[in-house]
C-alpha cells in the first residue's frame, strides 16, 4: 500500500495546488437521480460527520468557506459539487458527500444516506477516486470500512486522510497510520476490492500532507481527461518532426 506523505515535518512552505485553488461551487443535489451530468471526472470526499471533511476541502482548495465547516455535525444532507480548472473548460469536479454516522440523525435518515452512498459509490460512472476522511484519534470505524464493499465492483481507488494529526505526536501518528493500513488491507481482501488503496496523515491546522493529497487528486483527474481529438494534420511533410523513434 502506498505510503504517501507520512512524515511532513518540513519547514519549506507548503505548495498548494493551483488547480484545487480554482474550485468554485457548481451545484447542489439532494438525491442520486438529480446528480449533474457534465462528462467530467469527479472525486468525492466522504467521512463520518465531524471527521474534518469540510475543513480538509477548504484547506486543500485554500478557500475559507468553499465547503461549509459546521460546528453542528450532521446538518449538511446535500451533495455539493465544485468545479476545478479553467472557467470555460473545467477539468473535474470535487464532490462533498454528506457525512454519515452521526448519532443525532434519525435512524431512518441514516439508512437513507447509507443506501445513497452505497448506490453512489457503486454506480456513479464519473467517479474516479474517493477520499475518505477519518479522525486520526478515532481511526477507521465499521461504517468507514463498509465503504470498501460498496466500492469493490466499481474499481475506484481509495485514499484515506487521517485527519487532525496535529492532535497526535509523531509516534502516535505512525501507529494510527499503521493500524488503519492493516485494517484496510484486511478488509479489502475480504470484500475483493482490488483498486489501489493509499493512506496518509493530514492536518488542516499544521498543513500536514497537503501536497501529497493535492498531487494525488490532480493525478486522478489528469488520468481521466477526455482524450483530445487527434490534431488535424495540415503540416507539410517537410516539416515532420526531426526526431524519429528510437
Contact residues toward ligand GDP (CB under 6 A) are: 47, 49-55, 69-71, 73, 99, 163-164, 166-167, 203-205
Shortest approach of Mg ion to residue 244 CB, angstroms? 55
Residue 137 and residue 164 in contact, taking contact as beta carbons nearer than 8 Å: yes
Nearer to ligand GDP by Cβ, of 54 and 91: the residue is 54
200 near Mg ion (CB under 5 A) = no
Burial of 13 (0-12, 13-18, 19+ CB in 10 A): exposed
80 near Mg ion (CB under 5 A) = no
Cα–Cα distance for residue pair 3/244, rounded to 1 Å: 39
Q: What share of the chain is helix, strand, coil (3-state, %, to 5)?
A: 35, 20, 45
Cα–Cα distance for residue pair 2/44, rounded to 1 Å: 20
Shortest approach of ligand GDP to residue 146 CB, angstroms? 17
183 near Mg ion (CB under 5 A) = no
58 near Mg ion (CB under 5 A) = no
Query: Grid coordinates standing for 140?
Result: 477507521
Nearer to ligand GDP by Cβ, of 55 and 91: the residue is 55
Cα–Cα distance for residue pair 54/122, rounded to 1 Å: 23
54 near Mg ion (CB under 5 A) = yes
203 near Mg ion (CB under 5 A) = no
Nearer to Mg ion by Cβ, of 66 and 84: the residue is 66
Quick one: which of 57, 64, 107 has its CA closest to 79?
57
Shortest approach of ligand GDP to residue 231 CB, angstroms? 44
Amino acid at each position: 500500500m502506498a505510503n504517501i506523505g507520512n512524515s511532513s515535518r518540513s519547514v519549506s512552505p507548503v505548495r498548494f495546488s493551483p488547480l484545487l485553488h480554482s474550485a468554485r461551487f457548481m451545484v447542489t443535489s439532494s438525491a442520486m437521480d438529480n446528480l449533474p451530468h457534465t462528462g467530467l471526472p469527479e472525486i468525492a470526499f466522504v467521512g463520518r460527520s465531524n471527521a474534518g471533511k469540510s475543513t480538509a476541502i477548504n484547506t486543500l482548495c485554500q478557500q475559507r468557506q468553499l465547503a461549509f465547516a459546521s460546528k453542528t455535525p450532521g446538518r449538511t444532507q446535500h451533495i455539493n459539487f465544485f468545479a476545478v480548472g479553467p472557467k470555460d473548460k473545467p477539468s473535474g469536479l470535487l464532490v462533498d458527500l454528506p457525512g454519515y454516522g452521526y448519532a443525532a440523525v434519525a435512524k431512518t435518515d441514516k439508512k437513507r444516506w447509507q443506501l445513497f452512498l452505497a448506490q453512489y459509490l457503486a454506480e456513479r460512472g464519473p467517479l474516479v477516486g474517493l477520499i475518505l476522511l477519518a479522525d486520526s484519534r478515532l481511526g477507521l470505524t465499521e461504517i468507514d470500512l463498509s465503504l470498501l464493499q460498496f466500492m469493490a465492483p466499481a474499481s475506484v481507488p481509495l485514499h484515506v486522510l487521517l485527519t487532525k494529526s496535529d492532535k497526535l505526536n509523531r509516534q502516535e501518528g505512525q501507529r494510527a497510520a499503521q493500524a488503519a493500513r492493516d485494517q484496510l488491507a484486511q478488509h479489502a481482501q475480504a470484500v475483493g476490492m482490488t483498486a489501489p488503496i493509499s493512506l496518509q496523515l493530514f492536518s488542516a491546522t499544521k498543513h500536514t500532507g497537503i501536497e501529497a493529497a493535492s498531487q494525488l487528486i490532480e493525478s486522478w483527474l489528469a488520468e481521466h481527461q477526455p482524450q483530445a481529438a487527434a490534431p488535424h494534420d495540415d503540416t507539410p511533410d517537410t516539416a515532420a518532426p526531426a526526431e524519429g523513434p528510437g
